[in-house]
Structure 1
Amino acid sequence: MVPPHRPGHLKQVNKRHKKARSSSVGISISSTPRSSKVLTKRERRLLSKQRRTIKVEELKKCVGLRGSKEQPLMCVVIPLTSSVPGYLAQLLLRKADPCAMLLEDPYANLQHVVYIQSPMLKKHYAIVTADCNDLFGCIDLAQLADWLVLLCPSDCSGFSPESNEFLTALYAQGLTNTSFAVMSSLCDVKGLKRDLQKRIPIPEDTIYRLNRTDHAIALLRHMSNSSAYSASLRANKMKGLPFTGFDHSAARYRAGLLADSLSVVTEQVTIPEEKTNVYLRITGCLRGAPIFLSEPLEQSRSDESGPLLYIPGWGEFPLAKASWTNDDGTTREWLSPILQGRSKGLCRKDTYPMKEYLESFDDDSDDPDKEESINGSQDLGELPEAKPHGDDDPVAEPKELDEYEDAEDMCFSDFAARTAESSQSSSLTASQLAKFREARMAELFPDEVETPSNLPARARFAKYRSLPRFHGSVWPIEKDIFPTHYENIACFRNYNRNRRSVLRYVRQRLAGVLAMEDPAYTNIKFIPSGIRPTLLLGPMDTNVLNMILKEHDRPPDAPDEMYVPPLVVWSLLPHENRISVSHFLMRRLTSDVLGEAETSVIGDVATKVIESGSWSSDSHTPMSLGEDADSQVVMNDEEIRNVLTGFRAQQARSRTASVHSLPLLAPSCEPVKSKELMLFQCGIRRFVSAPVYSTVTASPHEKAKFEKYFKPTSTGIIATTYGPVMYAPLNVLQFRVRVNEPAPGEMAKTYMSELVATGTLHSIDPSRLILKRIFLSGHPFRIHQRHVVARFMFFNPVDVDYFKSVPLMTKNGAVGHIKESLGTHGHMKCVFDRKLNAADVILMPLYKRVFPKWVYEPQIVKVFEPKCPGKLEKIDADWFEAAETLQLRKKPSERKSSDLMDDSSA
């Protein structure tokens, strides 16, 4: 085959005659030819030199910002175990430079912060030591710090289980610039590094020695150079925005203040009624971004109120007054519009006389209603009476329905996991063994529910609907009745887009304020960073103020060396003062995943122990193991331990030395149930809530399946709870809240237990569909080819006719439907697509939408203090309906029983 002719470079190209049309019309700008000048070697060398000079200038600028007098380099020293003396490391760093000047007495502030100026390194440092026994205090200081120094023991054998959990929580929450150090001079650093890397990753891949002054000055020099370089890199990524934030992702774009002193300020008010307002006066060094005194995006807040500041563990408080001194020596003062005109009524009072007055007022209270309310909720310190979701239905349910509520609704009155702190004879209490057994039954028979024989099924399952299939079908949202709390929560149309818009707005605002070049930002009022302001927060409740002073202030008769937990104040980003529905992607700890098989063994043994005991089937159902069986379970504790020992020996192919020397499962391996009380540490936020768990979905519009238990799966699970609006990325820690089972005559105590899961913020979306699935099970009584007579699913013919349109399925995969009812005892004739086996189980799937429990408590001391007055906070704010906000309203129309069940053919 002859190839086609291809013209060469000598082919003549004639001129195109198109003068009638302008040559500039219809030509895109991108297609116009540009001059492609080829740079010579000398020009390329000069261009690279200019770029290098610009980077050096930026680095010098960041070096001047980080470690200056206004922004000292904050170094937090955290000992990993109690045996490591952290105060000696602080003393070494303080005495590293012999010419260093001490700028402030360390005992003049609450945290004993050492402010030094090093002429050798030409830097200012703020060195503070944390306590490893105070996890939340270490997390707050780590988010505020520029550099962390983790002091590890000379031998890894000094790590206790508590130290391992402390390290896990610290790493999961996120670390800033970190260095490991050891203070022992006889320590094998290489061996310690090798053993430590088996537990946790070492960021810098090295461990510094810290037992001489030359070691301390080398560590300080390393912190100064490395922190400035990292700050320069981050400033380049922020598109020209100068460095104003923290290294920690949770504290970025925020203003942070570590309290140096606390006091009380009172105000006499006569209008509209005569009362006394109390305020908390906080003094400290402001770091990070400035505090903006007005927020244009917060259209829902009143113009008379100041900005909201957040204290971890205590909640949000309005800023009433602020005073500070600028670098040029001028004194500035800002008052909220509410306090303007009556600022003369403010007077400072001593801290501890006020505290003593508040304590005596609480002790001498003779209010009988108050005493009854406290005694009625001793288990959890004034928790509200929780209602199951769906109670907003205007159609009243019969009272006998409460007896047959779902398992998670039955046990939610306890709110928290129960353990035996006072019982010394048994390792596992009756409530814990009941939870093990229920988790095992849920694993063997997932979502199966027995129909009550003394109650119509159409009334018991009136809130459930049917679906042709779980995936691929449409859930009728218009028939849902939302809880009343959904009327006032924030719901963004597109959370990811809103997050990007808010962060871009914050970056532009910070750039305009710091540069002061844009005239649009010249009138913004803010408290600049790098100064020592005095903030007045309030007005506060006297009980809350009393508890803050009791927790974070040092009594006057206490020694100066006494440790007090740090109090940190944070500014909030736009819309973060709103309440919405938060979704966290959580994963169980590695030890919990490895112990999943052992939890199944304990569940089987617990079932065997309970069923072999002298139980009365009339008074106790197999699923309702309570305190009445405590003595029997304690007696069978030896049997549980022996079976668990044999299982572990079989797995390890070797016998252990002693049965009693083998510990039982770790506390974190205990099953985690939905709607149990949990404590969340999400970024700077810390609150107590009762989450519900669901499966992970690829799309936010896809239906998620409700999970009764938080299973230790590798893919993770979604924890849904009420919480404030937050912006990803944020790391989340989940702690279990327990209530001990006291002895007769003793008061129950609520306390924070072990870390159970770690994860990240997934989204903020109240419209996410979480569906709970149940299976009504029946047994094939007679089988003739594809026709089956089933029983034990219903107990009257009216229920059979009511659920006739719902499709059926079996565990072996057969699909069918109800043809008609037989007799008067609930038998029914069914038709399937294949012949059934006599051992098969007939299932009927039903679904209903679930919502999280309305439990959100930012003041966690109200949960852990039994005598603390007050209840879980109800967020009552007048939110507005903006263009980017979708309000979900409660349906006023009543639902009929005929609308509760959808036809499967629809």
Structure 2
Amino acid sequence: MGITKQEVHRPGTFKQINKPHKTGRHRSKGSISNDAKGKVGVRVLSKRAAKNLGKNARRLQSSQIRKKKREEVLQQKRNLGGSESAPILVCIISLQADLNIDSILSIITKADDSANIINSPCGTIHLSIPRFKQRFSIVVPPVGNLFATLDIAKIATTILFVASAINQSDSSPRMKILDDWGNEIIMPCVAQGLTTPVVALTNIESLPMKKRQNFKNHVQSEISKWLPEEKISQLDTPTDAFNVLWRVGTQKQRSVSYKNKRAHLLAEEIKFKCNENSTDVGTLMISGYLRNVPLSVNGLIHIPGFGDFQMSQIDSPEDPYPVEKKLRKHNTMDEEPSVRVLECADPKKQESLESENIPDPMDAEQTWPTEEELAQAKTERRKILKRVPKGTSEYQAAWIPDEDAEELSECSDDESEDKMSVDEAMSQVDSEVEVEEDEEEYETITMSEVPDERYDQNIDMTEEKETMEKSKHAKLDAQFPDEVDTPQDMLAKQRFQKYRGLESFRTSSWDPKENLPTDYARIFQFENFDRTRKRIFKESQEIKGAMPGWYITIHVMNVRQDLFITFSALENYPLIVFGLLPNEHKMSVLNLVLKHTNISPQPVKSKEKLIFQCGFRRFTACPIFSQHTNGNKHKYERYFRPKSTVVASIFAPITFPPCPILCYIQKLNKSLELIATGSVLSANPDRIVVKRVVLSGHPYKVNKRSAIVRFMFFHREDINWFKPIELRTKYGRRGHIKEPLGTHGHMKCIFNGQLKSQDTILMNLYKRVFPKWTYEPLLLTELHQNEGMNVE
């Protein structure tokens, strides 16, 4: 039997041969090790030591790491609401406007017989349970007051949503657990950053036994739209309240980023002392538990409804709401307990309250009007040019509708796109008068405009008419985006003199410092916003001052007395203090990402007045909208439509992200409607928002690659002016203007392909738009005047 020879694989001609490694200008590993001459770094030694550990050593090391992390979590749970930390702040929010909150509070206060219950001067109920070794602060915002509820929900440790199974009026089972108030309050609570929630259902024992479980399942499915992971608890007896408090004190806590990076406290006691020099302002002394991060007396604070302030000192009084009752030793003289002063403000280190930059009037040779010129401009009345029958007096002319009248003043850039210039309007009126002078006996008179006060008394504009007009223009803009008509009675190069053509919207350069408005001289800008934000967040944890968990008293300087009087007149309105990070009181251009809530089908027009809640601030502004895209230029949006996301740019105080945004619109009946939610994008004045207008024309005669286009321009001079700008069509062709034909706006154009007769020729023009300085903080005096600031 013969032995077969084993086949051996031999590489063929197509064998892959890889290139040798080339280090290029970099040194190879061998050369680096030769230069080191056996020296090893400390990091390398530690890594080698970890790799050389045996199996049992590695197992022991991992178990020690797990044990350390577990102990840290347990220590945080033990400190929650303990004697060395602030009480657990529980905010009770009713999901129904007719719910009896007093009955809920009576059940909670009877949860434990050994509990110590104390009411603070500001209405907070302090509940100390020695069995838990924890203490709770229970706050109930006024039902129906939107802003008060949102303010407490911002800083609450736990939010207890309560609903009733029966109607309070007729004692019948509820078909829907959320009424109008519940639907409107739960959405902004979730959007602004929801802390640890608990959902409780009361009056469930009033239902028949067979229907209770089905009703619980119905409530669970309805609540899961907003809180998908929460289970419904029952709150009918003190035992149920005991279980709810146990759950509140032991469950895992959620963290809200913007809240955890800033110090805040809820006022437990408030005192006001007028200054000796002035009775209009004074010092406001606020006592409460400090939470989250340390607070320095040299920093600034923000009080919603009051504004930004400086502090003069921080005191540390004795904790009035301990976990266990302590026997206090009273002296024979009944002296008050001593108060320890923690910090006094240092004028050299204290942050300034100046929020705007003071521009130099002589910088860049700017010319500023004097005070006399400004006062004269306010008192001067505008003139209106009217065409009336001969012999008509100025009084009689005032009753004639002035729809065709023209103002004797220049049109501003922010007015409507299709509004003609004043000189052209006057010339047009004069020409019409000269032509018709022989046929009809008319004359032109100049009369003073009716004062604003008298004019507003005769105006009765309804919300339905405004909505109809807005919807009409929004629908037209959606059907023909950015298209405008070229004026026939004036040159297009004058009408669009601030616009320019771009070869490419994405790649063409645009200087962000070009032709800035004067308001940009008043704001502040960071050299690197992200780097500054990271540095400030890191330094905020290392501040020396009052520590979290302490009961402190802060002395707030220069608080207006009228604001304090207005606050004192409000019932159960909370007073919350937020510590500001460095630079968060300075003005800049704030860019906000907004997503439409789709509650209202009506679009929001750009530059319309809106109410913003930016984290802990609340103010009104008129934003400009732009697309949320990448790149260095962003297209201006005329309308903020449902099911869309835009970026709103406004002048506002700097706020470091992440920070939630709530956007409301106020109706004519003073009710508020939530139209958008979002977050802060950046504080960048260099964001370029470009407004586009599209001029359209139609082919008159079409050849192979050329066509005669009309209706885009009406003057030969305009065609030569816009000749360098590229043309495009709705069917995707591109071309350019070759030459004008005649004097009536016809022009010969060349395209990159055959043009269809039904095609439309378009020309894109661009200009940069800027937000207006419309920022106004929403103070308590305005909230008190507008009693309809509640959700409809």
Query: What interval of TM-score do these two structures reach, taking the shorter chain for normalisation?
Result: 0.7 to 0.9
Q: Which residue of 2 aligns with 1:680?
A: 612
Q: CA deviation at 1:116?
A: 2.1
* Shift in alpha-carbon separation, 1:57–1:129, aligned structure 2, 3 A: same
Q: Which residue of 1 aligns with 2:365?
A: none
Letter in 2 for 1:109: P
Q: Which residue of 2 aligns with 1:332?
A: 341
Q: Which residue of 2 aligns with 1:157?
A: 176
* Shift in alpha-carbon separation, 1:314–1:794, aligned structure 2, 3 A: farther
1:80 to 59, 70, 95: 95
* Shift in alpha-carbon separation, 1:495–1:265, aligned structure 2, 3 A: same
Equivalent residue of 1:441, what SS? Answer: helix
Matched, 1:135 2:175: no
Equivalent residue of 1:853, what SS? Answer: coil
Q: Which residue of 1 aligns with 2:133?
A: 122
**What is the distance in 2 between the residues matched to 1:693 and 1:2?**
73
CA shift digits 1:257-306 (9 cap, x unpaired): 2223444322233xxxxx55512423331321465436xxxxxxxxxxx5
**What is the distance in 2 between the residues matched to 1:53 and 1:471?**
52
Q: Which residue of 2 aligns with 1:549?
A: 565
Total equivalences in the alignment: 636
Bigger drift between 34-43 and 461-470 goes to: 34-43
Letter in 2 for 1:210: L
2:622 to 690, 693, 700: 690
Q: Which residue of 2 aligns with 1:312?
A: 304
CA shift digits 1:79-124 (9 cap, x unpaired): 111122222222211110011112x3x2x523x2111221222221
**What is the distance in 2 between the residues matched to 1:52 and 1:867?**
56
* Shift in alpha-carbon separation, 1:40–1:464, aligned structure 2, 3 A: closer
| Contact 2:660 2:678 (8 Å CA) reproduced | yes
Q: How does 1:357-756 map to 2 (within 5 A)?
A: 399-402=409-412, 405-406=415-416, 429-477=464-512, 480-507=514-541, 509-510=542-543, 524=544, 526-540=545-559, 542=560, 545-550=561-566, 552-554=567-569, 563-589=571-597, 591-592=598-599, 668-698=600-630, 701-713=631-643, 716-739=645-668, 751-756=670-675
Q: CA deviation at 1:34?
A: 4.0
Matched, 1:859 2:778: yes
Structure of higher CA gyration radius: 2
Matched, 1:758 2:677: yes
Letter in 1 for 2:134: K
**What is the distance in 1 between the residues matched to 2:508 and 2:725?**
14
TM-score (ref. length: structure 1): 0.64
Q: Which residue of 1 aligns with 2:759?
A: 840
**What is the distance in 2 between the residues matched to 1:259 and 1:331?**
19
* Shift in alpha-carbon separation, 1:122–1:195, aligned structure 2, 3 A: closer
* Shift in alpha-carbon separation, 1:40–1:452, aligned structure 2, 3 A: closer
Letter in 1 for 2:341: R
The structure with higher relative contact order (CA 8 Å, sep 6+) is: 1
* Shift in alpha-carbon separation, 1:38–1:30, aligned structure 2, 3 A: closer
| Contact 1:70 1:531 (8 Å CA) reproduced | yes
Report % sequence identity: 29
Structure 1: give runs of 5+ residues left out of the alignment: 6-17, 232-246, 270-274, 295-305, 341-368, 377-397, 411-421, 511-523, 556-562, 593-667, 741-750, 869-906
Q: Which residue of 2 aligns with 1:297?
A: none
Q: CA deviation at 1:734?
A: 0.8
Matched, 1:25 2:38: yes
CA shift digits 1:350-398 (9 cap, x unpaired): xxxxxxxxxxxxxxxxxxx9xx99xx9xxxxxxxxxxxxxxxxxxxxx9
**What is the distance in 2 between the residues matched to 1:857 and 1:565?**
22
* Shift in alpha-carbon separation, 1:409–1:283, aligned structure 2, 3 A: farther
**What is the distance in 1 between the residues matched to 2:764 and 2:718?**
15
**What is the distance in 2 between the residues matched to 1:252 and 1:473?**
42
**What is the distance in 1 between the residues matched to 2:345 and 2:419?**
45
* Shift in alpha-carbon separation, 1:838–1:43, aligned structure 2, 3 A: closer
Q: CA deviation at 1:842?
A: 1.8
CA shift digits 1:49-83 (9 cap, x unpaired): 68536733662464135332751111111111112
* Shift in alpha-carbon separation, 1:851–1:278, aligned structure 2, 3 A: same
CA shift digits 1:831-879 (9 cap, x unpaired): 22233333322211000111122111123557667799xxxxxxxxxxx
Q: How does 1:197-208 map to 2 (within 5 A)?
A: 197-198=221-222, 200-202=225-227, 204-208=229-233
* Shift in alpha-carbon separation, 1:64–1:844, aligned structure 2, 3 A: closer
Q: Which residue of 2 aligns with 1:266?
A: 274
Equivalent residue of 1:285, what SS? Answer: strand
Letter in 1 for 2:661: V
**What is the distance in 2 between the residues matched to 1:22 and 1:472?**
47
Q: Which residue of 2 aligns with 1:789?
A: 708
Q: CA deviation at 1:311?
A: 1.2
**What is the distance in 1 between the residues matched to 2:228 and 2:413?**
55
TM-score (ref. length: structure 2): 0.73
Q: CA deviation at 1:175?
A: 0.9
**What is the distance in 2 between the residues matched to 1:47 and 1:445?**
64
Letter in 2 for 1:2: V
Equivalent residue of 1:789, what SS? Answer: strand
| Contact 1:93 1:216 (8 Å CA) reproduced | yes
Structure 2: give runs of 5+ residues left out of the alignment: 1-6, 12-30, 166-173, 320-336, 350-374, 383-407, 421-458, 788-792
| Contact 1:790 1:830 (8 Å CA) reproduced | yes
Equivalent residue of 1:570, what SS? Answer: strand
Q: Which residue of 2 aligns with 1:807?
A: 726
Q: CA deviation at 1:211?
A: 0.5
Equivalent residue of 1:171, what SS? Answer: helix
Q: CA deviation at 1:814?
A: 1.9
**What is the distance in 1 between the residues matched to 2:271 and 2:409?**
52
Equivalent residue of 1:205, what SS? Answer: coil
* Shift in alpha-carbon separation, 1:208–1:866, aligned structure 2, 3 A: closer
Q: CA deviation at 1:186?
A: 3.7
* Shift in alpha-carbon separation, 1:324–1:408, aligned structure 2, 3 A: farther
1:109 to 121, 130, 137: 121
1:223 to 248, 252, 255: 248
CA shift digits 1:291-332 (9 cap, x unpaired): 5436xxxxxxxxxxx532101233212223443326796521
Q: Which residue of 2 aligns with 1:176?
A: 195
Q: Which residue of 2 aligns with 1:826?
A: 745
* Shift in alpha-carbon separation, 1:100–1:866, aligned structure 2, 3 A: closer
**What is the distance in 2 between the residues matched to 1:37 and 1:255?**
46
Matched, 1:250 2:258: yes
| Contact 1:706 1:772 (8 Å CA) reproduced | yes
| Contact 2:493 2:721 (8 Å CA) reproduced | yes
